[in-house]
Every structure is written in structure tokens, then in C-alpha cells.
């Protein structure tokens, strides 16, 4: 097989004495949905930040479409086709939803009008078109998360990294979000998501990567993985105790 | 419907605003005391608009813009005094220099956030003051520079104060036009994104440092032009004047703050309120109780900070929204009535 679309090789991140991400490797093929799960503190968000450029790994390599990107700052990675959302949504609160989305759209549409129409199209895609002229600070939590997705989608990415976009949503909002991700996937987008909600992970029922104490402890399809004893101990066991 | 105003609408509002700003000059052209005040009002309105580009839109609260102002003043004056270069040309070189060097000296401070950035840039102003006193060959040291009065268009020295008022008015119009064009461009939007959240801006593919550098360069160049005009108007410049914190460096920020930081019109409104009030109070109160005008001004600023967090422009916008909202909503079925809406607002 040719080189994978997105490959993570032996990535390690240390903070002083703590190894937050320990020698993690995996691949994502084009058009795939891959979920990363793991208990709190497993290093999921740190791993994400290594992939998007918020953090630089101490060792290892990240490649997108054959290009080594692990030393590039986040804006350069975005230009190469990597879109991301933040676990804690980062709306530009003084600006309207459409202005927020335009910030992403400007990457490929320099003009104000073209960026605006691109942004509006994306807002429609995520179901926020009616709220286009509302300030991001006045949006609800679920709307903010969708705005977060909209801003990264407006970048027209090849790979979308979603960091717990379902957290804090009610069941019907979760169902909507799953439908949204499915629609995105049908457009050919490759998606890597961090998810806490096992219902969501099952919904996609594709490849799942399990992190625990910074290391990858399992990888495989959702049903198999969620029944692996090590995963149950690390992940589900933790949930019972909580 | 597009949220971006049409080009025609924006520029006709711009023209209308300029006409309004000219009105006081037309009415007071015969009164030299007020013409002088208007000269400063237009100049500082322009400077506050220039500051607002990086300070307001870009969110980088610079207190170091006095350096650009001073650089423009000294360089234009020296180019004229030493080599007889017309100030019309002599204001270009410092503007370009401030754009490049200004961006470079600000670069290391961009890592600092909020008040730490403000304090670091404040230090530039103080270093500038010390250097201007020390480098006698360039600045004339503590004695400063005196430009002899030789009225001529080429010398940018005019016997008629009204010409100065028009020139400062043109400077304000230039700064406003630049700000409007900027905010209708990608760079303008990127400045807003950087102000709101740098991490989010990064993730949206924005090179945050580059955006800050470009915003600073533009802002610094305009501030330098303001300094050049100031030098040719007062014809006496010395370090304590051009590096004054209360009257120059901090004032740009203050005018923008009172008028409405990060808005197009705010800095102009701030200048039109504060500069005449200050000059008038200084003249009327200064005789009896020296410094009294500062007490009154300080009180005005305090009240503005307490009750108009978004400045005059913000207060006007809020009033406008309150007035507009019922009219927009009432036709919808089931919408609240204008009366109940107004009652809630």
C-alpha cells in the first residue's frame, strides 16, 4: 500500500518528568473516521495538540500527505489542509457567527464577498445559517461547538480534527452532531476525533484508538475494542468508579 | 442578506462624517483661539485613529506610539533644517522608517499579553526620551529644534492658521480612509481574530505575528506623519514635548478608549470631546488653579470608564439598536410589541 494519508510515528511529549504522550503511532487513511478514546488524563488532548501544532513533540514524526509537519506552527498546518476544533470552544465572542466563520474562509478566499459567501455556505452546512449575524458570545453551548466546526470547515481542510465536539450536549444535540459528522464524511473529508461518549464512537463503528497514561493500548474496530479487557479496565472501569 | 455594508454606503457615510467634522471649522474660522483648538483636534483625531489600528482592532494596547510620533517630528524637522528638504517629502522617509523599524522593535514585545505588553511599549517611550536628550547631534538635545518662520507652501509653514486646520483635517481624513479600507480587507478581519483569540486565529491558518507586524507598521507610519505635521505646525520641538506621556504617548490610547476602542469612528469622537474640553478648561481654569483642568478631565475619564465601557461610539450604537429593534421585529407574527420591547431595553 502507498504511504498513508496521515501518519503519526513514535510521537512522544514530556512535560518535565511527566510523559504525557508516550511513543504513539497510528495511521489515518483518506476518507476514514478514526476515534481516539481514553480516560481523563490519558493524553488525548495533548496528542491532538501535537498533531495540530499547538505543541511540538520531543520525539517522533507527523506526516500529512507525505509531508513532515511536526515542526510547523499551527497556521502553516492549517494551510496544508488540517482543520481543528478546540475542546473548550474558542469563539471570537465580539464577532458574529459569520465573521467567525469568515476567518477560516479567508484562507482560500481573499476577497470579503467571496469569503462571506463561503462562510454562509458552511454555516448552512452546520445548521447555523439562521444565526449568522448573532454575536458568538450570545450563542448557546451547542451552537458554539457547531461554530467551532464551521470555522475549521471554512478552511476547506483535508483532515478535520474534532476535540470532544459532543461534550456537554444533550442527547438530541448529540444525534444532530453525529448526523453532521456523517454528512461531512460523505463529502470525502477525513476525520479524526477525540471522543468521550461511547455512543458516538459506536455510531461511527470504525477504527478506534485507545490511549491510557499517554500510551496507545489498543487499536481496532469499535465493537472489538470496546470489549477488550484492557480497554474495559482502563476506560470503562474508570467510568464506573467515577 | 450580506452583513457587509456596500462600498457606496460606507464611503458616502465617510463623506458625510467629514462634512460634519468640517462644520465647526466653518463656523469658528474667524476665532483664532478656536481654530488652534480645532487644529489639535483634527491632528489628534487622526493620531487616535492611527493608534486604534493596532491598539484597538489588533488589541495590542501600545503605549509606545509616542516614539513614532517623535521620530516623525524630529526627522522631518532635521531634513528640512539641514538639507532644506521640503517637509512634504520629508514626512515620507520617517513614515517608512517607522513602519519597518517600528515593527521590528515591537516584535519581541508581541510575546507579551495585555498590560505586560502595554508596560513594555511604555518603556520604548522612556528610552526614546532619554536618547533624544542624549543624542544632541540629531535631536538638538534638551534644547530641541527650532524651525524659523518662513511662510511658504513648499516649507509647509503658513501664516494663515486656517490652512493648518485644513491640513490637519486632511490628515484625519487620510487616517480614517486607511482604517476603513483596512477593516474591509482580510488583514483587518485577521487583526480582529488576533485580538479575540490568538490560539483560535492560529488554528484558522492566520500567521499571528505577521498580522501584528503589518498592523503595527501601518499604525506607526501614520503616527509618524502626525508627528511630522505637529513639528511643522509648532516649529519648536523638544524631548519633554514629543515624548510626553500625558499629552502624546498615552493620549492616543486614551482618546480611542473614551471614544470607543476598536471602532472606526470612536477615536474621532474621543478627540472631538476631549481635545476641545481640555484646551478650553486649561484656558479657563488654568489661570486660577493650575492643573485644575486635569482634575476635571480625570473625572470625565473616570465617569466614561465607569458608565461607557465601550466608549461614546458604543453608547451611540446601543442607543441606535434600542431604537431600531422594535421596528424590525414588530411585523413578525407573535413577536413582542414595540412597547414591551422598549420597556425591557
Q: Give A195's pLDDT tier (boundaries 50, 70, 90).
A: confident
Residues of A with CB under 8 A from a CB of B: 52-54, 73-75, 78-79, 83-84, 86, 90-96, 98-99, 102-104, 106-107, 110, 112-113, 115-116, 132-133, 151-152, 154-155
Cell 473616570 identifies what position? B302
Instruction: Give yes or no for B184 touching A (CB within 8 A).
Output: yes
A93 Cβ contact list (under 8 Å, min separation 6) = A135, A136, A137, B196
- Give chain A's end-to-end CA distance (angstroms, integer): 43
Choice among A181-185, B35-39, B83-87, B180-184 with the minimum mean pLDDT: A181-185
Q: For residue A102, list chain B residues with Cβ-Cβ distance below 8 A.
A: 189
- The reported pLDDT for the residue numbered B341 is 35
Task: Tell which residue, B214, B215, B221, B213, has the closest CA to residue B93.
Answer: B221
B328 Cβ contact list (under 8 Å, min separation 6) = none
Q: Which of B184, B206, B208 has the CB atom closest to A112's CB atom?
A: B184
Å from B10 to nearest chain A CA? 14
- The reported pLDDT for the residue numbered A26 is 93
Highest mean pLDDT among B16-25, B246-255, B305-314, B315-324: B16-25
- The reported pLDDT for the residue numbered B20 is 94
Q: For residue B190, list chain A residues with Cβ-Cβ distance below 8 A.
A: 103, 106
- Taking only the tens place, the pLDDT of each residue in B258-291 is 999 899 999 999 999 999 988 888 888 766 777 7
Cell 507525505 identifies what position? A66
Q: Are A115 and B203 an interchain contact pair (Cβ–Cβ within 8 Å)?
A: no
Q: How many residues does chain B have?
A: 345
Q: Are A113 and B4 an interchain contact pair (Cβ–Cβ within 8 Å)?
A: yes
A211 Cβ contact list (under 8 Å, min separation 6) = A24, A36, A37, A38, A42, A43, A44, A47, A217
Q: Which of B2, B193, B207 has the CB atom closest to A92's CB atom?
A: B193
Å from A2 to nearest chain B CA? 28
Instruction: Give yes or no for B208 touching A (CB within 8 A).
Output: yes
Choice among A151-155, B141-145, B165-169 with the minimum mean pLDDT: B141-145
- The reported pLDDT for the residue numbered B192 is 96
Buried b (16+ CB within 10 A) or exposed e, A81-91: bbbbbbbebbb
Q: For residue A53, list chain B residues with Cβ-Cβ distance below 8 A.
A: 202
Q: Which of B3, B189, B207 has the CB atom closest to A75's CB atom?
A: B207
Please tell me which residue of chain B has the smallest CA distance to A80: B205
Instruction: Give yes or no for B213 touching A (CB within 8 A).
Output: no
Å from A92 to nearest chain B CA? 5
Please tell me which residue of chain B has the smallest CA distance to A147: B200
Q: How many residues does chain A have?
A: 242
Residue B250 in this model has a pLDDT that exceeds 80: yes
- The reported pLDDT for the residue numbered B286 is 67
Average pLDDT of B48-56? Answer: 96
Residue B73 in this model has a pLDDT that exceeds 90: yes
- The reported pLDDT for the residue numbered B137 is 87
Longest CA–CA separation in chain B, Å: 76
Q: Do A14 and A58 form a contact (C-beta atoms < 8 A)?
A: yes
Average pLDDT of B23-33? Answer: 91
Residue A98 in this model has a pLDDT that exceeds 90: yes
Average pLDDT of A161-166? Answer: 90
Average pLDDT of A89-114? Answer: 94
Q: Are B203 and A78 an interchain contact pair (Cβ–Cβ within 8 Å)?
A: yes
Instruction: Give yes or no for B61 touching A (CB within 8 A).
Output: no
Å from A232 to nearest chain B CA? 34
Cell 476631549 identifies what position? B274
- The reported pLDDT for the residue numbered B115 is 87
Å from B174 to nearest chain A CA? 22
Average pLDDT of B299-323? Answer: 82
Q: Are A95 and B205 an interchain contact pair (Cβ–Cβ within 8 Å)?
A: no
B161 Cβ contact list (under 8 Å, min separation 6) = B32, B35, B36, B39
CA distance A52 to A186: 23
Q: Are A155 and B193 an interchain contact pair (Cβ–Cβ within 8 Å)?
A: no
- Measured CA to CA in angstroms, residue B220 lies from A152, B24, B223, B232 at distances of 33, 29, 5, 19
Q: Which of B2, B196, B205 has the CB atom closest to A92's CB atom?
A: B196
Instruction: Give yes or no for B332 touching A (CB within 8 A).
Output: no
Residue B140 region, left (φ>0) first, then alpha (ψ -120 to 50), else beta? Answer: left
Q: For residue A149, list chain B residues with Cβ-Cβ distance below 8 A.
A: none
Å from B295 to nearest chain A CA? 34
Instruction: Give yes or no for B193 touching A (CB within 8 A).
Output: yes
Q: Whole-number mean pLDDT of chain A? A: 89
* Residue A172 phi, psi dihedral angles, 5° rounding: -70, -35
Q: Which of B2, B199, B204 has the CB atom closest to A151's CB atom?
A: B204
Q: Which grid coordinates are listed for B262? A: 476598536
**pTM given for the model:** 0.89
Highest mean pLDDT among A42-56, A219-233, B275-289, B330-344: A42-56
CA distance A73 to A82: 12
Strand partners, B300: none
Instruction: Give yes or no for B111 touching A (CB within 8 A).
Output: no
Each as own residue / partner, the long-range contacts of residues A204-209 (CB below 8 Å, 24 or more positions apart, any chain) are A204/A33, A204/A35, A204/A178, A206/A32, A206/A33, A206/A34, A206/A35, A207/A32, A207/A33, A207/A34, A207/A35, A208/A34, A208/A35, A208/A36, A208/A37, A209/A26, A209/A34, A209/A35, A209/A36, A209/A37
Q: Are B186 and A86 an interchain contact pair (Cβ–Cβ within 8 Å)?
A: no
Q: Do A115 and A103 form a contact (C-beta atoms < 8 A)?
A: no
Element of type H or E holding A156: none
Q: Which of A90, A95, A116 has the CB atom closest to B2's CB atom?
A: A116
Q: ipTM of this model? A: 0.90
What DSSP character marks residue B6? P
Q: Are B202 and A104 an interchain contact pair (Cβ–Cβ within 8 Å)?
A: no
- The reported pLDDT for the residue numbered B5 is 84
Q: Give A236's pLDDT tier (boundaries 50, 70, 90).
A: low
Cα radius of gyration (chain A) = 18
Task: Tell which residue, A73, A79, A70, has the closest CA to residue A47.
Answer: A70
Strand positions, DSSP E, chain B:
145-146, 236-237
Q: Do B197 and A110 form a contact (C-beta atoms < 8 A)?
A: no
Q: For residue A155, list chain B residues with Cβ-Cβ distance below 8 A.
A: 204-205
- Taking only the tens place, the pLDDT of each residue in A57-97 is 999 999 998 899 989 999 999 999 999 999 888 999 999 99
Q: Are A106 and B200 an interchain contact pair (Cβ–Cβ within 8 Å)?
A: no
Q: Give B330's pLDDT tier (boundaries 50, 70, 90).
A: very low
CA distance B69 to A128: 46
Choice among A156-160, B22-26, B110-114 with the minimum mean pLDDT: B110-114
What DSSP character marks residue B290? T
Q: Give B308's pLDDT tier (boundaries 50, 70, 90).
A: confident
Q: Are B2 and A79 an interchain contact pair (Cβ–Cβ within 8 Å)?
A: no
Q: For residue A79, list chain B residues with Cβ-Cβ distance below 8 A.
A: 205
Q: Which grid coordinates are listed for B45? A: 483625531
Residue B327 in this model has a pLDDT that exceeds 60: no
Each as own residue / partner, the long-range contacts of residues B119-126 (CB below 8 Å, 24 or more positions apart, any chain) are B119/B63, B120/B64, B121/B61, B121/B62, B121/B63, B121/B64, B121/B65, B122/B63, B122/B64, B122/B245, B122/B249, B123/B64, B124/B64, B124/B67, B125/B63, B125/B64, B125/B66, B125/B67, B125/B243, B125/B245, B125/B249, B126/B243
CA distance B296 to B278: 9
Q: Are B202 and A152 an interchain contact pair (Cβ–Cβ within 8 Å)?
A: no
Q: Do A210 and A217 form a contact (C-beta atoms < 8 A)?
A: yes
- The reported pLDDT for the residue numbered A237 is 59
Q: Are A92 and B197 an interchain contact pair (Cβ–Cβ within 8 Å)?
A: yes
Residue A110 in this model has a pLDDT that exceeds 50: yes
- The reported pLDDT for the residue numbered A13 is 93
Amino acid at each position: 500500500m502507498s504511504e498513508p494519508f496521515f501518519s503519526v510515528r513514535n510521537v512522544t511529549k514530556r512535560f518535565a518528568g511527566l510523559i504525557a504522550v508516550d511513543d504513539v503511532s497510528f495511521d489515518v487513511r483518506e476518507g476514514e473516521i478514526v476515534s481516539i478514546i481514553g480516560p481523563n488524563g490519558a493524553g488525548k488532548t495533548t496528542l491532538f495538540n501535537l498533531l495540530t501544532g499547538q505543541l511540538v513533540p520531543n520525539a517522533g514524526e507527523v506526516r500529512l500527505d507525505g509531508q513532515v509537519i511536526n515542526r510547523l506552527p499551527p497556521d502553516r498546518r492549517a494551510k496544508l489542509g488540517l482543520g481543528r476544533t478546540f475542546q473548550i470552544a474558542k469563539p471570537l465572542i465580539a464577532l458574529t457567527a459569520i465573521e467567525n466563520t469568515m476567518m477560516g474562509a479567508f484562507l482560500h478566499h481573499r476577497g470579503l464577498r467571496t469569503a462571506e459567501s463561503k462562510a454562509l455556505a458552511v454555516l448552512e452546512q452546520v445548521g447555523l445559517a439562521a444565526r449568522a449575524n448573532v454575536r458568538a458570545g450570545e450563542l448557546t453551548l451547542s451552537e458554539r461547538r457547531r461554530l467551532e466546526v464551521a470555522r475549521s470547515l471554512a478552511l476547506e481542510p483535508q483532515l478535520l480534527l474534532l476535540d470532544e465536539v459532543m461534550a456537554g450536549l444533550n442527547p438530541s444535540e448529540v444525534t444532530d452532531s453525529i448526523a453532521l459528522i456523517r454528512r461531512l464524511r460523505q463529502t470525502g473529508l477525513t476525520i479524526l476525533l477525540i471522543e468521550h461518549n461511547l455512543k458516538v464512537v459506536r455510531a461511527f463503528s470504525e477504527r478506534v484508538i485507545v490511549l491510557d497514561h499517554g500510551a496507545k493500548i489498543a487499536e481496532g474496530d469499535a465493537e472489538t475494542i470496546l470489549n477488550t479487557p484492557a480497554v474495559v479496565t482502563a476506560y470503562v472501569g474508570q467510568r464506573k468508579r467515577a | 442578506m450580506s452583513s457587509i455594508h456596500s462600498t457606496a454606503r460606507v464611503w458616502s457615510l465617510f463623506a458625510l462624517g467629514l462634512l460634519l467634522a468640517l462644520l465647526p471649522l466653518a463656523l469658528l474660522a474667524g476665532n483664532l483661539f478656536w481654530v488652534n483648538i480645532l487644529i489639535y483636534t483634527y491632528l489628534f483625531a487622526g493620531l487616535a485613529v492611527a493608534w486604534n489600528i493596532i491598539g484597538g482592532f489588533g488589541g495590542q494596547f501600545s503605549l509606545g506610539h509616542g516614539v513614532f510620533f517623535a521620530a516623525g517630528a524630529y526627522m522631518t524637522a532635521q531634513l528640512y533644517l539641514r538639507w532644506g528638504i521640503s517637509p512634504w517629502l520629508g514626512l515620507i522617509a520617517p513614515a517608512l522608517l517607522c513602519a519597518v523599524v517600528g515593527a521590528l522593535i515591537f516584535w519581541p514585545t508581541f510575546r507579551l499579553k495585555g498590560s505586560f505588553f502595554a508596560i513594555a511599549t511604555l518603556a520604548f517611550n522612556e528610552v526614546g526620551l532619554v536618547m533624544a536628550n542624549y543624542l544632541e547631534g540629531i535631536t538638538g538635545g534638551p534644547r530641541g529644534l527650532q524651525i524659523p518662520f518662513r511662510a511658504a507652501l513648499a516649507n509647509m509653514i503658513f501664516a494663515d492658521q486656517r490652512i493648518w486646520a485644513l491640513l490637519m483635517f486632511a490628515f484625519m481624513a487620510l487616517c480614517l480612509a486607511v482604517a476603513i479600507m483596512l477593516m474591509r480587507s482580510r488583514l483587518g478581519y485577521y487583526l480582529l481574530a488576533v485580538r479575540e483569540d490568538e490560539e483560535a486565529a492560529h488554528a484558522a491558518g492566520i500567521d499571528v505575528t505577521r498580522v501584528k507586524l503589518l498592523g503595527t507598521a501601518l499604525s506607526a507610519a501614520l503616527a509618524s506623519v502626525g508627528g511630522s505635521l505637529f513639528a511643522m505646525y509648532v516649529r519648536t520641538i523638544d524631548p519633554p514635548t514629543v515624548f510626553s506621556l500625558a499629552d502624546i504617548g498615552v493620549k492616543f490610547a486614551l482618546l480611542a478608549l473614551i471614544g470607543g476602542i476598536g471602532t472606526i469612528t470612536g477615536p474621532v469622537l474621543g478627540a472631538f470631546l476631549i481635545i476641545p474640553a481640555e484646551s478650553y478648561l486649561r484656558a479657563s481654569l488654568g489661570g486660577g488653579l493650575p492643573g485644575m483642568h486635569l482634575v476635571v478631565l480625570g473625572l470625565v475619564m473616570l465617569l466614561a470608564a465607569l458608565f461607557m465601557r465601550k466608549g461614546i461610539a458604543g453608547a451611540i450604537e446601543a442607543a441606535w439598536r434600542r431604537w431600531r429593534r422594535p421596528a424590525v421585529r414588530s411585523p413578525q407574527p407573535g413577536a413582542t410589541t414595540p412597547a414591551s420591547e422598549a420597556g425591557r431595553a
